[in-house]
Amino acid sequence: MIPVQGFEGAKVAVLGLGRSGLATARALRAGGAEALCWDDNPKARDVAMADGFHCTDLLKQRAFEDVASLIVSPGIPHLYPTPNPVVAAALEAGVPVDNDIGLFFRSFASGDWALFDTPPKVVAVTGSNGKSTTSALIHHVLSEAGRRTQLAGNIGRGVLDLDPAEDGDVIVLELSSYQTDLARSLTPDIAVFTNLSPDHLDRHAGMGGYFAAKRRLFAEGGPDRAIIGVDEIEGRYLAGQLAEGAVDDRVMRISTERKLTGAGWNIFARKGFLSEYRKGRQAGAIDLRAIKGLPGAHNHQNACAAYAVCRALGLAPRVIEAGFASFGGLPHRSQIIAEAGGVTYVNDSKATNVDAAKKALAAFKNIRWICGGLEKEGGLTDLLGSTGQVVKAYVIGREAANFAMQLKGVEAEVCTTMEEAVAQAMAQAEEGDTVLLAPAAASFDQYDSFEKRGADFEACVKRGLKARDT
């Protein structure tokens, strides 16, 4: 646990008592603060009270009297589309609003660091797609190389639940736009921007607000090294803002769409090969084609970002390559769950938006595509032109018929349920086909999370294969 600094003897309100909220309350208590907890869910309040916390309705009159700060969990709106009433009350009372990420950055360093030979470093990864895989890949490569490392944030543990730093530690954080948007302190040593595509636009009042939330990690944080995906205009703009000139290698540019051989420090992947160029000369290369845990161009972009981080931390290219080779991938992200009868079954339930689905579709051939769910703002227009490898689509979700009608040029079967979609795809699949779950939609019309949707897909596939074998 990281005890929160700066609030000893003070009252701090905590709104939202999920994983990160409870970890925040405990870290505040460890730092000598009094945590005033609230969650609309009575069961969450019961858990907190069983842990010795005082729960108080933060909407009652004078609730914010003598409160030093309000700490808000990521899923709770603080500005758009409308602030949560508790957040609005705090702002009205002049109480600062923060989150656990802000508390982490103000509390992580301690007096013990003066005794360390190698100061700990924090790597923060943000972007629309690929954050989790990139973060996990960095963590994996460092672990395989014998470096002490911890993984937290939007993946794994809550940031305040981490162990106190030891000599030479590397902390890898996956940060969503919800987290970077509100944190009052952002000071990573290395910051990564993977890419940008429309997502969470209601929470940020449009694309500009969404990009601004991501950009805060760099503008507010002032990292020593910035690793920027430059395949979108926003990334090129961000890199241009941060760099002092073409030779400024504090900004490392990454791409899977173009060859980057300028005077700076560049990493790009083309046709399955990753190349590192520095000062116009090649400094390293990795053949990514045989690495099963990193299929497709979107994962090659993740590999470029992870490679850049590890190089910035001093790892040799061959050490990084060995780490890549043993990486098994993450659940629900282009995860191969079975291969039978010449058919490959892939779970990419995390492809919750159109851009992520496009990248998944580009990674495989002869696709039996399971898609559908709670459609996001912007519709499916951007998918058109990316479905050339799709043999047939099997559409799930409560609005499956409407979803299917938008898949112009694709043979689509309305299945509604995952069980029916998997059964039809398996029955019709031929040798060389890939049955791919890449929904291009949120899960919340049928499932509590993309993880539960992916788990259902995997269970349906395994039942189908077992029935076929009996």
Which tens digits make up the pLDDT trace of 360-402? 999 899 999 999 999 887 778 888 889 999 999 999 999 999 9
Q: How far apart are CA 263 and CA 387, in angstroms?
A: 37
Q: Which domain holds residue 448?
A: 335-469
**Model's pTM, two decimal places?**
0.86
Q: Is residue 6 part of a domain?
A: no
| Residues placed in the known binding site for ATP | 127-133
Q: Is residue 192 part of a domain?
A: yes
Q: How far apart are CA 120 and CA 148, in angstroms?
A: 10
316-366 pLDDT tens trace: 999 999 999 999 888 898 889 999 999 999 999 999 989 889 989 998 999
| Residues placed in the known binding site | 127-133
pLDDT at 380: 87
pLDDT at 155: 86
The number of domains in the chain is: 3
Which of residues 291, 325, 359 is at a domain's end?
A: 325
CA geometry: angle 211, 215, 216, nearest 5 deg: 125
pLDDT at 355: 86
pLDDT at 111: 82
pLDDT at 295: 87
In this structure, the answer to whether residues 132 and 211 fall within a common structural domain is yes
pLDDT at 112: 86
Q: Is residue 5 part of a domain?
A: no
In this structure, the answer to whether residues 260 and 372 fall within a common structural domain is no
Q: Is residue 2 part of a domain?
A: no
- Is 334 within 8 Å of 296 (Cβ atoms)? yes
Residue 35 pairs in a beta bridge with 12
pLDDT at 14: 97
Which of residues 325, 343, 360 is at a domain's end?
A: 325
In this structure, the answer to whether residues 291 and 165 fall within a common structural domain is yes
In this structure, the answer to whether residues 320 and 442 fall within a common structural domain is no
Chunk the chain into consecutive blocks of 10 residues (it has 470) and report each block's average pLDDT, rounded to whole numbers: 96 94 96 96 95 95 96 94 96 97 95 90 95 96 97 90 94 96 96 91 92 95 94 96 92 95 93 94 94 89 98 97 92 91 95 90 94 85 88 96 93 96 97 96 92 97 91
In this structure, the answer to whether residues 147 and 171 fall within a common structural domain is yes
Q: Is residue 464 part of a domain?
A: yes
pLDDT at 221: 81
In this structure, the answer to whether residues 181 and 305 fall within a common structural domain is yes
In this structure, the answer to whether residues 301 and 170 fall within a common structural domain is yes
